[in-house]
C-alpha cells in the first residue's frame, strides 16, 4: 500500500522502518519541525531513505485546516494514514481522505484512559492490566472503532519508562505493523468502542502533579510512578519544591533506620536511609523513593538528601583535564544549538533528549573504559561541571558505595584473629532478622557457643528475593558484559584466596573440619571452583540449527542461552563453603542472582563469603545469605513465586518435599543432590596397599561426612581377612582431636544430633547381627567425637547395608571369587546412585564394572577424586542435575530458540 506516516519520535521511526520492510511504499512522512537545530528521528530516517519529509508547525488555524498544508498532503496520494505517535491535531480533511482512512496507536486499552497521558493514568489508577489499542481515527478524541488490542501485566513497581520499554514500545511497533497487514489483507475489523468503562483524563502537567499525602502508601506510590519521569510528582519539602522519582513499595518501612525528614501534610515524617527516602501513607504502610530533583534541575540520590551540599569539587589532574576537554567537544557535538559549552551549561535545558543521554554514556565508555555510567548518572549531573566531577570521581573510585558495615564477632584462635559476620546479608548489607531473632551456632570441638547468628524469618526471605529480583531485572548485573561479570568473579576468588586461612579456621570451628583438610579441600576447591567458572562467563553461547526452509523464503534458527533469574540455593552442613561454591559459582556465571540458605548449624563461612562478595564489587542484591531453618527459610524459597530455580543438596526425604513445593508454587526448575549408599568393590587382583589406603579414605574422609562416602565395601572373600586386618591397623594410627591441631586426622562430628544418630545406627547394626570390629561409640572427651568404626559380616537385608550413616562407619561384605555379575547386582540393589568405585588391576574388568555400576560417578583404582571441571551428580533417588563442569551451567540457564524467515 501507499502509506503516509504522520507523527514523530523513535516509536514513529521504528514503525516507519518496519512498514518499509513489509514492502509498503511510504509516500510521505509528516512530522514536527526541527527542535534546536535537530531533526526528529522519524524525519532523519526518512530523509536518509530519500522519502519526502514535511515538517509542518501546524495543520490548522482557529479550527480550520490550512489549505496549502492539506494540498501538499493530498499530492502524496496516500491510501492509508498511519499515526504511530502524533502530538499535532490533524484535520478531518486529512484523516478521511485516503481510501483506507487513518489508524492511530494509543497506549491504553480503549475505551479506558482516553487522552494524551494514557500510560500515566494506567499507573496512577493502579491498573493490573495495561496495553495498547490501534483504532480507526474519527472526529472524536480516541473514540474511533478498535482494530487491534494487545494486553500486558502491569507490575507493581512499573514506571512509565519500564512498561513502555518492556511492552508498549516493542509490542506497539509490532501491533501497528500487524494492523496495517490486516488492512492490506482486507481482514481489519472495526469494533465499536463500548460506553461502559470509558474514561478520559486530563494531560498530566507539572502544575497538576502535586502529591496529596492523605492517601494510602499504594496510592502514593501509584501517583509518583505514574508521573515518573514526566511531568514528575512533586511536593513542598523544607520550603522547596521537590520532585520524587523511582518509587517502590516496601515491606516493614516502619523499621527503617535513618534520619527523619518532615513531610508537610504527611501522616508521619519520612526517613532518609541508605537505600533512599522512606515515605508513609495514611495506612501506615511505606514506599521508597530513590531520587529527588530540585527546582534548579539538580537531581540527587534521595539517600544523599542531608549531604547533597557537602561534597567539595575535586581538582583535576592534567590527564583528567584532557578528558574534560574531550567531553566538552562531545557535548558540543550533541548540543549543536549551543555556541560554547560552559561549565554551567545544562545538558537538558540546552535541548538534549533521552537518545542524547544514551549517546553520551557510550561516548564516555569509548574515552574512559573504567568509567561505566548509567543513564541516571547523566540525569543527576546535568551541568557540564557536575558531569565532569561525577566522571572523575568514578574514574578515581571515589564514588564507590559507602563502606560495607560489618558487626564482626572476633576470636583469637589458630594464631590469628578471625572476624566473623553474624547477621543476614540482604541487598548488599548485613542486617538483623525480623524481630531481632537469633540462635547460637556451636563449636563441635567442645560444644560451646561460637556466637549468636541472626535467624531469618519469612519476611526476610521476601526482602532477599525482592532484592535479587531487582538486581537481576533492573540492576547493573543484568546489563553487565559477560567478561566484566567474569572479572568480578575472578576478583572474588582472589579475595577468598587472600582470606583462605581465616575461612579454613572458621570452617574448622563451625563444622569440625580438620584445618588442613579445610584449607586444601573446603576452601581450596571453593577457590578453584569460582576461578573455573569465571572463565566460562564469556563462553556461554547458543547454536545455529538447520531447519526445513519455507520456500521460496529461507529460515535461520538459532538458540540463545539466557540466565533464569532469581535462584535459591539450599546447602548442607558437611562442606559449608564448598557446597556454596559448587552451586553459586555456576549460578553467578550464568548471570543469575542468588538467595542462599546455609545449613542452620554451619552459617559462618557463608556469611564471610557474603562479605568478600561485597568487597569484590558484586552489585547489591546479587548475593543474599539467609541463615535459618529449613522449615521456614527453605520452605519459603521453595514456595516463592519470584524464585525460578532451586538448587538443593541434602537428604532424599527433604529433596522430595522440595520438589513438591516447587511444582505446586510455580513449577520452578530444580536440581537435587541427595542421599547415597555408594558401593566400593575390591577385587583380589587389586593393589592391596592402595586399596586399603583409598578404602579408608572412601569412608573416613572428612570424618565420614561426605556425600559420596563408600557406604558399603564389597571385598572378594579371598582377601577379605587381609584387607580387614590392614584397615584395623591403620585405624589405630588415626589421631582424633582438635581440628586446629595440624597433626589431627579426625575431628568432631558436625553437631550433637548427628553424633547421637551415629550411635543409634551402630547399635542397630549390632542388634541385626553384624560383627562390630572396632569403634561404634562416642569418644569420651568434650565435644562431638565419634570413633572410627568397622562392621563386617554385613548381610544385604540389614539396615546398615541399606541406609547411609553419613559418618565414620565402614560396612564390609564379602563376595565369592569370580561372581562379578552377582556382586554388581548387590551393589546396584539400592535406590541410590551417587557414586561408586572399583579396585582391580584387570583393565577389562574395570571397564566392565564401571559400565554396569548404576551411579553418576565411578572411581577406578581411586576414590574421592572430584575436580571442578568434571560433572558431579547422581542417579535414581540420589537426585538429578549436575554440579561442576560445563554441564553445571545448564542447571542455571534456559534455552531460547529463535526462528527468522527472510
The single residue listed with the C-alpha cell 481515527 is 137
HSE-CB at 691 with a 13 A cutoff on CA atoms is: 25
Q: How far apart are CA 697 and CA 704, in angstroms?
A: 9
Secondary structure element (H or E) that encloses residue 103, with its range: strand 102-106
Which cell numbers in the block locate residue 279? Answer: 515515605
Q: How far apart are CA 698 and CA 703, in angstroms?
A: 10
Contact 830, 872 (CB under 8 A): no
Contact 220, 287 (CB under 8 A): yes
Secondary structure element (H or E) that encloses residue 448, with its range: strand 448-454
HEC string for 692-722: HHHHHHHHHHHHHCCCCCEEEEEEEHHHHHH
Phi and psi at 534, nearest 5°, equal -55, -35
Alpha carbon 124 to its chain's center: 29
Distances (CA, A) of 283 to 216, 287, 295: 5, 12, 30
HSE-CB at 452 with a 13 A cutoff on CA atoms is: 7
Catalytic residues: 106, 673, 707
Q: What angle do CA 685, 691, 694 make, to 5 degrees?
A: 155
The single residue listed with the C-alpha cell 543513564 is 375
Strand-pairing partners, residue 426, are 429
Contact 6, 91 (CB under 8 A): no
Q: Report DSSP state, residue 883.
A: B
Contact 679, 711 (CB under 8 A): yes
Closest CA to 365 of 472, 481, 486, 534: 481
Phi and psi at 507, nearest 5°, equal -60, -40
Contact 786, 755 (CB under 8 A): yes
Secondary structure element (H or E) that encloses residue 826, with its range: helix 820-828
Q: How far apart are CA 694 and CA 690, in angstroms?
A: 6
| Residues in contact with 317: Cβ distance below 8 Å, sequence separation at least 6, in sequence order | none
Query: Per-residue b/e over 872-901, b at no fewer than 16 CB within 10 Å?
Result: bbbebbbbbbbbbbbebbbbbbeeeeeeee
SS3 180: helix
Contact 528, 654 (CB under 8 A): no
Distances (CA, A) of 176 to 87, 94, 169: 17, 19, 10
| Residues in contact with 829: Cβ distance below 8 Å, sequence separation at least 6, in sequence order | 796
Q: How far apart are CA 741 and CA 91, in angstroms?
A: 90
Amino acid at each position: 500500500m501507499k502509506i503516509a506516516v504522520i507523527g514523530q519520535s523513535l516509536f514513529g521511526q521504528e514503525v516507519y522502518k518496519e512498514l518499509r520492510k513489509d514492502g509498503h511504499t511510504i509516500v510521505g512522512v509528516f512530522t514536527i519541525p526541527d527542535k534546536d537545530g535537530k531533526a526528529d528521528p522519524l524525519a532523519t530516517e526518512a530523509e536518509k531513505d530519500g522519502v519526502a519529509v514535511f515538517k509542518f508547525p501546524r495543520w490548522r488555524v482557529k479550527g480550520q485546516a490550512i489549505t496549502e498544508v492539506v494540498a501538499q498532503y493530498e499530492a502524496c496520494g496516500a491510501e492509508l494514514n498511519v499515526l504511530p505517535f502524533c502530538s499535532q491535531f490533524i484535520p478531518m480533511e486529512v484523516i478521511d481522505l485516503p481510501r483506507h482512512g487513518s489508524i492511530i496507536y494509543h497506549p491504553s486499552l480503549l475505551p479506558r484512559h482516553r487522552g494524551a497521558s494514557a500510560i500515566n493514568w494506567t499507573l496512577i489508577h493502579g491498573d493490573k492490566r495495561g496495553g495498547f489499542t490501534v483504532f480507526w481515527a474519527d472526529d472524536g478524541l480516541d473514540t474511533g472503532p478498535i482494530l487491534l488490542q494487545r494486553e500486558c501485566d502491569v507490575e507493581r513497581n512499573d514506571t512509565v519508562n519500564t512498561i513502555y520499554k518492556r511492552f508498549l514500545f516493542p509490542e506497539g511497533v509490532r501491533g501497528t505493523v500487524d494492523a496495517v497487514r490486516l488492512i492490506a489483507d482486507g481482514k481489519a475489523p472495526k469494533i465499536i468502542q463500548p460506553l461502559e468503562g470509558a474514561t478520559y483524563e486530563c494531560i498530566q502537567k507539572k502544575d497538576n502533579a502535586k502529591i496529596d499525602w492523605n492517601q494510602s502508601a499504594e496510592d502514593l506510590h501509584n501517583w509518583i510512578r505514574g508521573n515518573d519521569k514526566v511531568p514528575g510528582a512533586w511536593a513542598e519539602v523544607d520550603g522547596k519544591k521537590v520532585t520524587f522519582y523511582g518509587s517502590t513499595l516496601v515491606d516493614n518501612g516502619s523499621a527503617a533506620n535513618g534520619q527523619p525528614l518532615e513531610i508537610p501534610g504527611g501522616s508521619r515524617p519520612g526517613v532518609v536511609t541508605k537505600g533512599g527516602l522512606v515515605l508513609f501513607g495514611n495506612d501506615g504502610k511505606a514506599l521508597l523513593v530513590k531520587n529527588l530533583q530540585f527546582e534548579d534541575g539538580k537531581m540527587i540520590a534521595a539517600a544523599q538528601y542531608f549531604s547533597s551540599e557537602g561534597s567539595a569539587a575535586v581538582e583535576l589532574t592534567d590527564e583528567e583535564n584532557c578528558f574534560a576537554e574531550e567531553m566538552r567537544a562531545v557535548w558540543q557535538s550533541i548540543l549543536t544549538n549551543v555556541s560554547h559549552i560552559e561549565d554551567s551549561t545544562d545538558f537538558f535545558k540546552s535541548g538534549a533528549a533521552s537518545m542524547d543521554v544514551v549517546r553520551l554514556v557510550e561516548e564516555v565508555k569509548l574515552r574512559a573504559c573504567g568509567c561505566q555510567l548509567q543513564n541516571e548518572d547523566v540525569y543527576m549531573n546535568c551541568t557540564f561541571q557536575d558531569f565532569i566531577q561525577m566522571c572523575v570521581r568514578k574514574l578515581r573510585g571515589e564514588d564507590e558505595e559507602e563502606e560495607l558495615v560489618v558487626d564482626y564477632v572476633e576470636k583469637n584462635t589458630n594464631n590469628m584473629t578471625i572476624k566473623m559476620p553474624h547477621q543476614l546479608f540482604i541487598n548488599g548489607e548485613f542486617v538483623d532478622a525480623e524481630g531481632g531473632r537469633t540462635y547460637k551456632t556451636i563449636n563441635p570441638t567442645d560444644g560451646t557457643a561460637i556466637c549468636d547468628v541472626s535467624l531469618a524469618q519469612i519476611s526476610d526471605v521476601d526482602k532477599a528475593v525482592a532484592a535479587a529480583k531487582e538486581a537481576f531485572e533492573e540492576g547493573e548485573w543484568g546489563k553487565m558484559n559477560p567478561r566484566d561479570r567474569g572479572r568480578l568473579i575472578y576478583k572474588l576468588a582472589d579475595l577468598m584466596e587472600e582470606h583462605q586461612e581465616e575461612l579454613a579456621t572458621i570452617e574448622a570451628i563451625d563444622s569440625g573440619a580438620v584445618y588442613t583438610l579445610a584449607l586444601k579441600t573446603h576452601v581450596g576447591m571453593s577457590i578453584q571452583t569460582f576461578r573455573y567458572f569465571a572463565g566460562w562467563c564469556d563462553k556461554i553461547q547458543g547454536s545455529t540449527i538447520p531447519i526445513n526452509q519455507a520456500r521460496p523464503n529461507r529460515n535461520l534458527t538459532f538458540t540463545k542461552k539466557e540466565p533464569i533469574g532469581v535462584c535459591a540455593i539450599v546447602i548442607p552442613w558437611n562442606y559449608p563453603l564448598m557446597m556454596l561454591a559448587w552451586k553459586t559459582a555456576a549460578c553467578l556465571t550464568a548471570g543469575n542472582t542468588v538467595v542462599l540458605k546455609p545449613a542452620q548449624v554451619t552459617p559462618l563461612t557463608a556469611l564471610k563469603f557474603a562479605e568478600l562478595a561485597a568487597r569484590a564489587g558484586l552489585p547489591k542484591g546479587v548475593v543474599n545469605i539467609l541463615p535459618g531453618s529449613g522449615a521456614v527459610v527453605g520452605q519459603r524459597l521453595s514456595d516463592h513465586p519470584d524464585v525460578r530455580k532451586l538448587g538443593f543438596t541434602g537428604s532424599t526425604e527433604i529433596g522430595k518435599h522440595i520438589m513438591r513445593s516447587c511444582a505446586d508454587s510455580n513449577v520452578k526448575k530444580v536440581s537435587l543432590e541427595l542421599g547415597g549408599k555408594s558401593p566400593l568393590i575390591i577385587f583380589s587382583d587389586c593393589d592391596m596397599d592402595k586399596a586399603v589406603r583409598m578404602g579408608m579414605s572412601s569412608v573416613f574422609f572428612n570424618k565420614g561426612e561426605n556425600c559420596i562416602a563408600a557406604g558399603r565395601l564389597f571385598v572378594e572373600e579371598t582377601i577379605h581377612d587381609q584387607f580387614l586386618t590392614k584397615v584395623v591397623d591403620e585405624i589405630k594410627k588415626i589421631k582424633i582431636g582438635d581440628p586446629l591441631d595440624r597433626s589431627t586426622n579426625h575431628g568432631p562430628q558436625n553437631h550433637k544430633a548427628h553424633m547421637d544418630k551415629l550411635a543409634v545406627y551402630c547399635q542397630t547394626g549390632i542388634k541385626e547381627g553384624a560383627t562390630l570390629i572396632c569403634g561404634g561409640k562416642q569418644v569420651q572427651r568434650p565435644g562431638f567425637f565419634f570413633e572410627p568404626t568397622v562392621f563386617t559380616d554385613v548381610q544385604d537385608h540389614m539396615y546398615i547395608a541399606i541406609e547411609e550413616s553419613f559418618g565414620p562407619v565402614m560396612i564390609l561384605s564379602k563376595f565369592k571369587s569370580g561372581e562379578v555379575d552377582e556382586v554388581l547386582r548387590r551393589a546396584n540393589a539400592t535406590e541410590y546412585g551417587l557414586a561408586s568405585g572399583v579396585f582391580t588391576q584387570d583393565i577389562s574388568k574395570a571397564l566392565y564394572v564401571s559400565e554396569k555400576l548404576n551411579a553418576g560417578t565411578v572411581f577406578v583404582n581411586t576414590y574421592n577424586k572430584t575436580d571442578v571441571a568434571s560433572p558431579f551428580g547422581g542417579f535414581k533417588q540420589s537426585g538429578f542435575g549436575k554440579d561442576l563442569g560445563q554441564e553445571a551451567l545448564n542447571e542455571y540457564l534456559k534455552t531460547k530458540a529463535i526462528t527468522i524467515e527472510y
